[in-house]
Amino acid sequence: MSTNPIPATLLILHGTGEFSWTNWEIHLSVLIGCVLFAGLYLAGVGPLRRKYGWAPEVKRGQVVAFLSGVVVLFLALNGPIHDLSDYYLLSAHMVQHMLLMMIMPPLLLIGTPDWLLRPILRHPTVMEIARFLTHPATAFTLYNVVFIGWHFPAAYNLALESHGVHVVQHLMFMAVSTIMWWPVINPVPELARLSSPLQLLYLFAFGIPMSVVSAFITMSSEVVYPWYAEAPRVFDISAVEDQQLGGLIMWVPGMLIYWIAVTIVFLRWSSREDREEPRKAGLAAASGRS
């Protein structure tokens, strides 16, 4: 545990003490939000599904994926990850943002059955809004505008200084990340627009802006975000070294997640091609005999 007190300015803004790995402070708003989120989902795939006949069953893997996403959300916004992110380390903040943007959204989308969303999308206006937001061009633009915009020093530091702004930042990150992953995971087939080859291109393109931002953070010889320059050192690491580590966390594991997604899309595409090839050959042979 650190013996360095937090500067008075941080104490005034956040009212926190020293960092401890065993200090599991639970934020009531996050707890309530996660419980409601999980509760509504379980009601939808359970009693409401049976009452309205949406589907004969729900896949256990989908339930596990969705609830895992809620657990990731809870762990990212409470306990040591939250404290390190908010008061001490940029590198921890990058880990938190990766959990909220790269891990949680795909788990939630994978865990959401199409029949659970269709009642919401029945209204034509809602469907049109969904079509616009999940269009690959819209998703690409929204994600990168929000992602890059919040990483400008003034905006990033403002989020750390103001809890309300920080909440808005996290909500925006989670919203645009969910939209970003939608064209790849496609929980509702009616909104799907990208073939597998275009999904590969889409994922590759998404990695470029993140690489540029992470390279800028990693290679800067000065502290980019003043908040962390004033923060006490909880490990034997300087503010610049912490910043370089944070940039590398965004760069390497972040890109690895994209490449895992690329690999999954490619394998799905290859498997589908292998299954369709005999059928195409059979049709060609039948056409030749006729």
- Give the chain's domain count: 1
H helix intervals, 122-220: 124-133, 136-150, 153-161, 163-185, 196-219
263-284 per-position pLDDT tens digit: 999 999 988 775 665 555 454 5
Residue 222, both tokens: 């000065």
Q: What integer pLDDT is reported at residue 11 of this predicted model?
A: 44
**3-class DSSP state for residue 37?**
helix
Q: Give the total residue count for the chain.
A: 290
Is 135 inside a domain boundary? yes
180-220 per-position pLDDT tens digit: 999 999 999 888 889 999 999 999 998 899 999 999 999 99
pTM summary value: 0.87
Count CB neighbours of 231 within 10 A.
23
The per-residue pLDDT of the chain, averaged, comes to 88
Is 159 inside a domain boundary? yes
Q: Which of 239, 216, 209, 225 is nearest to 101 (CA)?
A: 209
Is 289 inside a domain boundary? no
In terms of residue numbers, what domain contains 115?
A: 8-277
Q: What integer pLDDT is reported at residue 49 of this predicted model?
A: 96
Is 150 inside a domain boundary? yes
Is 2 inside a domain boundary? no
Q: Which of 17-26, 52-61, 83-92, 242-251 has the lowest mean pLDDT?
A: 17-26
Is 152 inside a domain boundary? yes
Write down the residue that tokens 């199409």 correspond to: 114
Q: Which of 7-11, 20-24, 144-148 has the lowest mean pLDDT?
A: 7-11
HSE toward the beta carbon, residue 247, CA cutoff 13 A: 21
pLDDT level of residue 287 (50, 70, 90 thresholds): low
Is 118 inside a domain boundary? yes
190: Cβ–Cβ under 8 A, 6 or more apart, which residues? Answer: 121, 127
Q: What integer pLDDT is reported at residue 19 of this predicted model?
A: 74
Is 127 inside a domain boundary? yes
Count CB neighbours of 135 within 10 A.
18
The proportion of the chain whose per-residue pLDDT surpasses 70, expressed as a percent, equals 88
213-241 per-position pLDDT tens digit: 999 999 999 999 999 998 888 888 999 99
